[in-house]
Chains A and B, each alone.
Chain A
Amino acid sequence: MSARHPLVAGVRAGDRRALSRAITLVESRRGDDSEQAAALLAELYPATGRALRVGVTGAPGVGKSTLLDALGMQAVAAGGRVGVLSIDPSSQLRGGSLLGDRVRMARLSSSDAAFIRASPSGGASGGLGPRTREALVLLEAAGFDPIFVESVGVGQGELAVTEVCDLVMVVQIGGAGDEVQGMKRGLLEHADLVVFNKADGPQAAATERAARELASLLEWMRPGQSRVELVSALEGRGIDGLYRALLEERARLTESGELRERRRAQRRSWLSQALEELVIARQSRDPELDRARRELERAVEEGELAPPLAARQLLEPDKASSTSGGA
């Protein structure tokens, strides 16, 4: 193991500045930073894995951030130190982003018992950033528990939260029509909790109706496995009940052994992802392989060579030579 990284002590002590710098370090795209990030992780990872991790997802405008503000304050009141990682989309074109979630977390962002970090998705798919897992480890090492992970929230395919969190909470509003229900169906299958927000004002009745309908649908889809909660983040109603439900769900999952299973699966998938990244990084670092890749790229671009065959030629030239004849 490498020498003790200078940020380790600060992170362990819960120092905001050290934690913030450490997240930047693990998110950095620089090669030398990734060495340091690995050193940091090596020291901090072993003591983690106990904090409650809650994934929060749902379409734009359903009030995820406002809900997190209320729920986070509830957790603070119960003695928790609350971490929030919220992910916003990066522009595909230039890589820039507009990060505005904290704006709706006014109380939590001034609380001494909370830490909020917004991160750009940086081209990663699935609704999270490329280094959300590492950031989670850092937050936990700094003593934050529970930790909420707010996904991008643009719609389909936001399943990445299920790969990094203990529990997944899908936020909905009533009266948004069937399209939302249909669109989110894939996600609903993974939802431990479905929260109907904005059960206030003129929409209150519609929201309640939608919640009832969904509850019976879920009961049919996954008997006894997901709960539906009704809240108004704006008015602060139903928040204590929701927090209690989170804790109960976790207890239930722990008892049944499901939580342990989920975490094992999550660690396996993290390993797969890390391997993929490393292979790609190694390929682009090796000047010979990189040159070979550029040459193959031309054939791939022109449609002369199938991309999977090109990949094999690059990394497994012995095997590839026997199959590439018919390209």
Chain B
Amino acid sequence: MTQPDDAETRWRALVQSETRGRFADTARTPAGLEVKALYTAQDLEGVAHLDSVPGEAPFVRGVRATMYATRPWTLRQYAGFSTPEETNAFFRRALKAGQRGLSVAFDLPTHRGYDSDDPRVKGDVGKAGVAVSSVEDMKLVFDGIPLAEVSVSMTMNGAVLPVLAAFIVTAEEQGVGLEQLSGTIQNDILKEFMVRNTFIYPPEPSMRIVADVMELVSQKLPRYNSISISGYHMQEAGASAELELGYTLADGLAYASAGVARGLDPDAVLGTLSFFFGVGLDFFGEIAKLRAARLLWAELVKERFAPKNPRSLSLRTHCQTSGVSLTAQDPLNNVVRTTLEALSAVLGGTQSLHTNAYDEALALPGERSARVARNTQLILQHETGIPKVVDPLAGSYYVERLTHDLAASARQLVLEVEAHGGMTRAIEQRIPQRRIAQAAAERQARIDRSEELVIGVNAFRVPDEPEPELLVVDTARVLEAQSARLARVRKNRDENRVQALLAALEAGARGSENLLTLSIEAMRARATVGEVSLALERAFGRHNEVSMATTGVFSKAYAGDAEWSAVVELLRRVSEREGRQPRILIAKLGQDGHDRGAKVVAAGLSDLGFDVELGPLFQSPEQAARHALESDVHFVGVSTQAGAHLVLVPELLDELRKLGAGGVRVVVGGIISAPDRAALEARGVSAVFGPGAPILEIARQLLELFEGVPEAGSA
């Protein structure tokens, strides 16, 4: 037991004399955690997991007894762009350069279930990932790569059926048995509805597809993970560590229940689940988050499913360093950020890791930046000695307390979700979406106000930085190559057979047959991703949804701020002259569903006094122009994260002109390289904003576009 003059009391006395009482003994970390300035042995009271060892439930110290001491984590870089051939070449080079597993990024049309030659998706083909429309494309992606040896993870959710089917057929045609395939399909549709928005069908049939995949994988692909339950995208969308943890595990429980409800054995279901967390710059918070995830998952699974195999309680996870922590400004700083995040992931005990490239806030990674990203992990593995000791931070007063507290608060979120009838219901009621959007807006407001410093962005800026060299995808060439191959595929196949299999798939979707089995047959006969998706869409419908931004966060954060008041005053003068509030349509064009930026900007501008129209996701330039016209907006603000702006924004300008609304100003915000910025401005875009541009700056620039507004004081 502690003595009267215990460590904390003695320390407080010292603090008093050192600072004369001017000291706040608690603080808030970047991931939103409340922490104390000092932790002592006293903080370990009530922490129950301290005696556990690695490899043993609740696995808080690691899922394997020896962890990295015998085998380091899997270096698995997420990659893919342009044509299947180019992605294949990239993969082969990466494997030669020390990468252990592959992780495929698909382009947005593939995610949304459209073939490359679909007119709706021009501009997005090959941009944010590789274009895969048929088995022939998939075979090229893995040409010369032995699927029996290399584990392959695929980020695919909406179009999971045709894409996983194409992968399975590719393995068959390579002569690889299904039991030999290892890797993971993301197949996490709940977080798509929550934050990432690359869904295709409504929630209910989508959950059925998830369960169909789980069922077939657990029966036929024993070494393969049928879901990667992802918190990463929640963190990217602005969730705090606690929200990411709680909602991810709640998603996990929903999937496990769906599998068990199918009549599958709980051990078989739990064995095919894996997780995927984001790791940001909250160094200790992220370590504690991964440890807490294992601890809480073991407890929850034990309570709810009582599996027989103790390994079923273990949470295995992939991690990726944070994309939103990267800055477009002074991009080499991102190497440092990524290194720290990678270290967190390793100290937290991840099973595999992706490290971001330093130029990803500007464009897709180039050859050189991809190498540095890979080497970051190789240096951690081979030059630091860190992997030699299992769970080196165990016993740290701070880390153990944080682990305990995070698990406890995440458990509350899990219980709240369950009280609302489970995750699908909670998402329908927009509970997680609202929480995450609010956290995102609050964080942005803190950064805008320099309460949190981001080096090179709101502090220590470099006046004239040189432009880094960037990878540019020639969309027109990708589209041409893809269209030609699709034409060949359609010409050389047995058309009657394909149509019969697609009809069988549609009938299966209306009935209860396993849809992955039916999709494999259709894809084997060379149906395309678009055709399989359409057959399912006929039965299920296509889902359209958007979660609204929250209001009030910015005006609260800026209460009493002089700069804020100055912009509000400028706005007042503008609206007096215009006879109405300045009005802006915030549009997401094309297949890019990343809407954190759009929602944060919408919230901020409406708090300042703009009338903000939030457009639907996946709007075409034509639809956006008509929306702008009917709403008679002053501005259209296009938010772009996936590189299609050079095609879609000029089309928007043309459409506006065609409708006689050429007076509407178009501004663009998001991930935009310097050459793209110049090209957009040359086409008539009025302003371009980088990722994370402060709201006040955006608002001021917009308001200054109004001409002839009287000066202050002439009210």
Contact = CB atoms under 8 A, between A and B. Distances in A.
B612 A96 contact: yes
Contact of A94 (B202, B544, B609, B615): B609
B387 to A, nearest CB: 49
A14 B50 CA distance: 74
B549 interface: yes
B606 A96 contact: yes
A217 interface: no
A93 B555 contact: yes
Given A24-B580, A100-B546, A115-B630, A94 B608 contact: yes
A106 B627 contact: no
A98 B551 contact: yes
B586 to A, nearest CB: 10
Contacts of B541: 235
Given A98-B606, A99-B612, A109-B623, A29 B630 contact: no
Contacts of B568: 94
A100 B614 contact: yes
Interface in B534-579: 541, 544, 546, 548-549, 551-552, 555, 568, 571, 575-579
Interface stretch (A15-23, A145-153, A177-185, A247-255): A15-23
Interface in A70-122: 90-91, 93-100, 102-104, 106, 109-110, 115-118, 120
A290 interface: no
A103 B632 contact: no
A316 interface: no
B202 to A, nearest CB: 7
A28 interface: yes
A50 interface: no
B472 interface: no
A95 B575 CA distance: 10
Contacts of A102: 613, 615-616, 627, 631
A99 B611 contact: yes
Contact of B580 (A16, A28, A94, A103): A28
Contact of B611 (A23, A96, A110, A201): A96
A29 B574 CA distance: 12
Contact of B632 (A21, A95, A106): A21
Given A17-B660, A110-B623, A117 B630 contact: yes
A104 B617 CA distance: 10
Interface in B41-66: none
B541 to A, nearest CB: 8
A99 B578 CA distance: 19
A106 B616 CA distance: 8
A93 B623 CA distance: 32
A98 B548 contact: yes
B204 interface: yes
B581 A96 contact: yes
Contacts, number: 109
Contacts of B605: 96
Contacts of B549: 98
Size bracket of the A interface: 35 or more
Nearest to B551: A98
Interface in B263-291: none
A61 B428 CA distance: 10
Contact of B606 (A91, A118, A234): A91
B610 interface: yes
A114 B480 CA distance: 36
A201 B659 contact: no
B629 interface: yes
A97 B571 CA distance: 14
Contact of A20 (B204, B544, B610, B630): B630
Contacts of B577: 30
Contacts of A99: 611-614, 631
Contact of A16 (B578, B579, B659): B659
B416 interface: no
A149 to B, nearest CB: 16
Contacts of A16: 626, 629-630, 659
A166 interface: no
A309 to B, nearest CB: 30
A201 to B, nearest CB: 7
A27 B546 CA distance: 28
A100 B613 contact: yes
Contacts of B614: 98-100, 103
B610 A96 contact: yes
B607 interface: yes
A109 B660 contact: no
B531 to A, nearest CB: 23
Given A24-B580, A100-B548, A110-B626, 17 more contacts: A16-B629, A20-B630, A20-B632, A24-B632, A29-B576, A61-B429, A91-B551, A94-B568, A97-B581, A97-B611, A98-B548, A102-B615, A102-B627, A103-B614, A110-B623, A116-B630, A235-B541
Interface of B: 202, 204, 429, 541, 544, 546, 548-549, 551-552, 555, 568, 571, 575-581, 602-603, 605-616, 623, 626-627, 629-632, 659-661
* For the complex of A and B, 4 pairs with smallest distance between CB atoms: A28-B579, A30-B579, A94-B609, A96-B609
25 contacts: A16-B629, A17-B629, A20-B629, A21-B632, A27-B580, A30-B578, A30-B579, A94-B555, A94-B571, A94-B607, A95-B609, A96-B551, A96-B607, A97-B581, A98-B548, A99-B611, A99-B631, A100-B614, A102-B616, A103-B615, A109-B616, A110-B626, A117-B631, A118-B613, A201-B204
